[in-house]
Structure 1
């Protein structure tokens, strides 16, 4: 017979740290909202858990706790196995229910299952990649992504000890892994998982354990770059308000740290987001601010990209002269070639991206044939490693061709884009294809167009069911 005597849960109590039960309950409720759960957590509930009266949480709390402490199991949190609490009869009933989806990976990615199975949890393990980093982060006393949001009250976070090389290196690795996965698969399956290391990064900053020197500079830079990466995932998956918030956080971090490279990056992405959101004058101003921040960084390629961002804003405003001037500056700067001082995050920016961004400007000005020529160049020049960008360029080419009246060619390019959508999850690309479909619908009777529209409808329906 299984004993029902309450045994205090000292592990959970340690995870609460110096927060009061009420403060920690607020953290739990906030974490629940992040994943769409509703729990009525209060100080009394936390007290019951720590007293051992709740030996295993219900499924809703389980999902919240695993979201707050990615990489840990219920046993790691001090709870008993569900079957030992509920007994054999309850276990049989529970086994008959559909298993709850693991919250560390809320949106499974499709495509190459070998790559996905290996990498699906990489973001929540970004701080656990080696023994040194694992021990260092564990020593912080805040767990990994303890469910705190950026700007959470300091009292809600147990105070970490010294942050050093291992923690900063783990943050830098998280940024690289996020970018790699985005290049391969797009943003939709990554955004929520990427938010966990970001919370940990800002918990380190808020704790103030590193205040000066090279380590402090790297900590600020990696936290800011992580905010931009998470902001981009939000942007690409259609969460514009979230993206704007993350970019603003990165910009504030850059200003506090006096980091012009990070500031230029934040403004660059802000300009891109503003253009996609239809705030074209803001896109121009942000790009110009980014160019001012980057003027002493000795990176012509960075200045070229910022000029392209400005050109996109002018095009959205219908200002052909401003757009042409910025495009000319972008090409002149690009032709100066790469530099050792080019930022690491600019690995995506080469001739294909230059052509694609000019295509977007031409499309915004209504010059569809010219847009299609540039988009076509982007597709044939793109390295297949950048799967998401290749899908994007093909979708934009299909749209430009459809508007230009080249229906068969548009359908063919659309098929090529769909060929990659099993590997890529990007609401942005899906939205581009949906817009192209609306252009083609009146021409459904054309055999090639009809075949593409049928395939797109079938693909969209399968994705919705999935």
Structure 2
């Protein structure tokens, strides 16, 4: 082949090389860059906590709701999924576990409030495990304090005292008197069930004293600040004295509580009003007791159970026109 033929072959080879290079460059440009690994941060945690705050608000409004229980469990699962999604700092890891534990604890409380006690016990085991992973003393306190309340509702005062003692021995009760105050107030309610009248008086003396020592400017978790205040101390005092068969003191504390409740504590107000009705009935004030009971919205599961007990006691104590009138209202509710 002549010189011109050789030049042609070189040109063809150059064109093929250029074409191959262009294809390779095009492929390199078109190929997506590998995704950067996701890093979970405190902004993710704060987003979860914002949704948790809405659950707390719903619980204080209606409580005991299966929807609240399911939503709390779903939010806990989201927190744990974020932990698996990518890397995070030790601080974020602990915060995710604490948030998950708080959500499961809320599911436990919703189940307790709704009288679904077997579910509540199962939620406690899961919440306690998550709280241990977090190392968060505040949520550990909440979980064990809730278990004490659960056993109180089950009529098991010895178990309730043991569970509440776990909460009261945590170091957070020494660092923050407000936690100590709640521990004392709930202990009083359990001691009332155990008919330990002297113990009730001691615990109810400690609860307000500890509350007065608490620094109002200190940061505390929403689940605590949303409900625990002087009104709740009086409400738990009413519970304690009612269980200890000290009706006059129970009535006085119930009245004090009802004057102090914040507007969003709808469920708590209904529960305390039911306790007031029981205290009045125990003192023979049947007409006042019925009027008090009739003022309550009975949609809440625990309130309905309390009013069912009130109805049985009213029939035993005062059968007749007052009972008959109440029974008609009760059945219509």
**TM-score bin, normalised by smaller chain:** 0.7 to 0.9
Offset of 1:204 from its aligned partner?
A: 3.8
Distance in 2 between residues matched to 1:357 and 1:408, nearest whole Å: 25
1:402 paired to 2:281: yes
Distance in 2 between residues matched to 1:413 and 1:210, nearest whole Å: 56
Cα RMSD, aligned residues only? 2.3
Name the structure 2 match of 1:253: 130
1:350 paired to 2:229: yes
Structure 1, residues 265-289: CA drift from partner, whole Å, max 9, x if none?
A: 1111111111111121122122222
Change in CA separation of 1:210 and 1:219 when aligned onto 2, cut-off 3 Å: farther
Structure 1, residues 40-94: CA drift from partner, whole Å, max 9, x if none?
A: xxxxxxxxxxxxxxxxxxxxxxxxxxxxxxxxxxxxxxxxxxxxxxxxxxxxxxx
Distance in 1 between residues matched to 2:174 and 2:139, nearest whole Å: 11
Which segments of 5 or more consecutive residues in structure 2 lack a partner in the other structure? 1-34
Name the structure 1 match of 2:19: none
Structure with more contact order per residue of length (Cα contacts < 8 Å, sep ≥ 6): 2
Contact 1:175/1:229 (CA < 8 Å) preserved in 2?
A: no
Structure 1, residues 94-135: CA drift from partner, whole Å, max 9, x if none?
A: xxxxxxxxxxxxxxxxxxxxxxxxxxxxxxxxxxxxxxxxxx
Distance in 2 between residues matched to 1:208 and 1:274, nearest whole Å: 37
The partner residue of 1:192 within 45, 70, 87 is 70
1:285 paired to 2:162: yes
Name the structure 2 match of 1:202: 80
Distance in 1 between residues matched to 2:38 and 2:124, nearest whole Å: 28
1:375 paired to 2:284: no
Distance in 1 between residues matched to 2:99 and 2:304, nearest whole Å: 30
1:458 paired to 2:332: yes
Name the structure 2 match of 1:440: 314
Distance in 2 between residues matched to 1:331 and 1:304, nearest whole Å: 7
Offset of 1:220 from its aligned partner?
A: 1.4
Instruction: Map residues 297-312 of structure 1 onto 2, 5 A cutoff.
Output: 298-312=175-189
Name the structure 1 match of 2:121: 244
Structure 1, residues 2-61: CA drift from partner, whole Å, max 9, x if none?
A: xxxxxxxxxxxxxxxxxxxxxxxxxxxxxxxxxxxxxxxxxxxxxxxxxxxxxxxxxxxx
Runs (4+) off by over 6 Å: none
State how many pairs are aligned: 294
Contact 1:360/1:371 (CA < 8 Å) preserved in 2?
A: yes
Contact 1:174/1:226 (CA < 8 Å) preserved in 2?
A: no
Distance in 2 between residues matched to 1:339 and 1:276, nearest whole Å: 33
